[in-house]
Structure 1
Amino acid sequence: MVENTKRNLIIIGGAEDKKGGKEILKEVCSSIDMNNDNLVIATLATESPIEAGDKYKKIFSSLGVKNIKTLDINHRKHAFLQENVEIIKNADLIFFTGGDQLRITSLIGGTPVGNEMRYSYERGCIYVGTSAGASVVSDIMIVTGEDEESPRKCTLKMSPGLGFINHVIIDQHFAQRGRIGRILAGIAQNPEVLGIGIDEDTAIVVNEKAMLKVIGSGAVYVIDGWNITHTNVSEQYQDEILSIFNVKMHVLIKGNVFDLNKREPMEEENKK
């Protein structure tokens, strides 16, 4: 069962439209009171935080958000500063930019800022992540793996994430970078979790009932290994091609819904 989903998560596969209709970013803005709520841009994942922060600040301002702050943590010591803890305490929505997801967890894991993020999520702060910021929201995240390759037995590197949503593995830039192989490797190693691959300019909105709804122009792929009947995954001969039987995959598009607890897709949200 998917746990720890208190309010909405918006998880973006990266490269969201920033110049046209901005459908996904408009959805982000509409999830808060744009006149009164505080939106925080967290640039922890990127090595170009000023550039990333300025870019998103301009976009969110143009969409009508009045109160925007940037959380810049380039060194772990910054995650112990009370001023940064206060930014999280006062946030209604936190937006993680892209970059390197391992930077996020290594910079804030076990720090006052990291702890405050967990408290804020429990209080109802909305968390949004794009690209690397998408992978990090789950309890286990993919760090590295081969793109556009057949899955191999034990070459995928995974690490603990922030744990805002459990029992899923999220991968981004999915179809564009040919990442089906590496998410299959992740499911083979963790058959109890769901693998969720999100295309660019595509996002999932997850509510407090663990219902996932797709928005954007691409597809979302849900890979379910619950009923796997065979796999050769092991630490021996790690570079060998992975063999895996009886894997189920759902391909979802805009408007489709998936019940993460029941592991069932629906064409659209039940309005009843």
Structure 2
Amino acid sequence: METGETTPVTNARGQLVIIGGAEDKEGDCTILREFVRRAGGTQARIVVMTVATGLPDEVGRTYTEVFERLGVDDVRIIDTASREDGSDPRALEAIEKATGVFFTGGDQARITSNLKGTEVDAAIHRRYAEGIVVGGTSAGAAMMPDIMIIEGDSETNPRVNVVEMGPGMGFLPGVVIDQHFLQRGRMGRLISALAQQPAVLGFGIDENTAIAISDNKFEVIGEGAVTIVDESGITHSNVGEILKDEALAVCGARLHVLPHGYKFDLQTRKPILD
């Protein structure tokens, strides 16, 4: 591993459910069902964070209906439409009582601009360290690392200027996460993102697919797959030699594609096959 690279190991006691977007909300709801189960089942107290979306009422209502249909009686919506909302006493009280916090999709830049560094942000991180489940879909997945993809081109070859990076929310440091992965052809974007920061693991999560993380291991849930790019053993990269719009070369990276039921160890950076 090169100097400056980070290993994606978290000491938090809580769990993460990171969804690639477009998860089933009408059928078996496999992924959202697993989120509810991990958050306490019918005794769960769930806070839905709609900060990423421009349609907080509509999106909040959709998730409230799904969680209530799965048996959760206590579902609360928090919309931090401005940074001032990040110190709302009602929001802080709801988070204090929550067993699960769920971030909807939308624009991940809205999450960091409106929420990062606020009292609500600090409360969620503290409750996560105490053992609650934090979930997120689409934009709510992209924001999970300490450095996140803000935006970038899909269906393109890797180049440094393909993707814009910025500070994430830091629930899972040391990785890069991209969503809608297969559906939007984002392999080049993910490799480009890895080249810009010291993480060595990139996770591309397909739609209606999630990784559920606990104890530094994750399990894949859903109908698609998770593509893992591991650059810890690369033998060559031209990233220090090229201009921003020139093609990126990476040699010796490892690739794993894991469907439903497969597991991965974040510490050893290896699939769990036994």
The TM-score with structure 2 as length reference comes to: 0.93
Structure 1 gap ranges (5+): none
Q: CA deviation at 1:125?
A: 1.5
Tell whether the 8 Å contact from 2:41 to 2:72 is kept in structure 1 after alignment. Answer: yes
1:79-228 maps to which residues of 2 (within 5 A)?
79-190=86-197, 192-207=199-214, 209-228=215-234
Q: CA deviation at 1:140?
A: 1.4
Q: CA deviation at 1:191?
A: 5.1
Task: Tell me, in whole angstroms, the C-alpha distance in 1 between the residues paired with 2:33 and 2:199.
Answer: 34
2:71 to 64, 86, 89: 64
Query: Does 112-121 or 186-195 show the bigger shift?
Result: 186-195
Tell whether the 8 Å contact from 1:42 to 1:72 is kept in structure 2 after alignment. Answer: yes
Q: CA deviation at 1:36?
A: 3.0
Q: CA RMSD in A?
A: 1.5
Query: Which residue is 1:261 aligned to?
Result: 267
SS of the residue corresponding to residue 3 of structure 1 reads: coil
Deviations 1:74-115 (A, max 9, x none): 111111222221121111100100001111111012211111
Deviations 1:136-155 (A, max 9, x none): 11111111111001111344
Task: Tell me, in whole angstroms, the C-alpha distance in 2 between the residues paired with 1:145 and 1:234.
Answer: 21
Deviations 1:36-80 (A, max 9, x none): 331011100000000000001011111111111001111111112
The TM-score with structure 1 as length reference comes to: 0.94
Query: Which residue is 2:24 aligned to?
Result: 17
Q: CA deviation at 1:6?
A: 1.9
Query: Which residue is 1:243 aligned to?
Result: 249
Q: CA deviation at 1:4?
A: 3.6
Tell whether the 8 Å contact from 1:11 to 1:130 is kept in structure 2 after alignment. Answer: yes
Query: Which residue is 2:4 aligned to?
Result: none
Query: Which residue is 1:26 aligned to?
Result: 33
1:54 to 54, 61, 86: 61
Q: CA deviation at 1:32?
A: 2.6
Q: CA deviation at 1:210?
A: 0.7
Deviations 1:128-169 (A, max 9, x none): 000000111111111111100111134421111111111111
Deviations 1:200-221 (A, max 9, x none): 00000101x2111001000101
SS of the residue corresponding to residue 226 of structure 1 reads: coil
Deviations 1:184-230 (A, max 9, x none): 112223354310000000000101x2111001000101100011222
Tell whether the 8 Å contact from 2:36 to 2:44 is kept in structure 1 after alignment. Answer: no
- Alpha carbons of 1:247 and 1:191: their partners in 2 closer, same or farther (altered >3 Å)? farther
Q: CA deviation at 1:252?
A: 0.2
Task: Tell me, in whole angstroms, the C-alpha distance in 2 between the residues paired with 1:191 and 1:220.
Answer: 21
- Tell me the amino acid that sits aligned with residue 89 of structure 1: E
Tell whether the 8 Å contact from 2:229 to 2:254 is kept in structure 1 after alignment. Answer: yes
Report the count of equivalent residues. Answer: 267
- Tell me the amino acid that sits aligned with residue 256 of structure 2: H
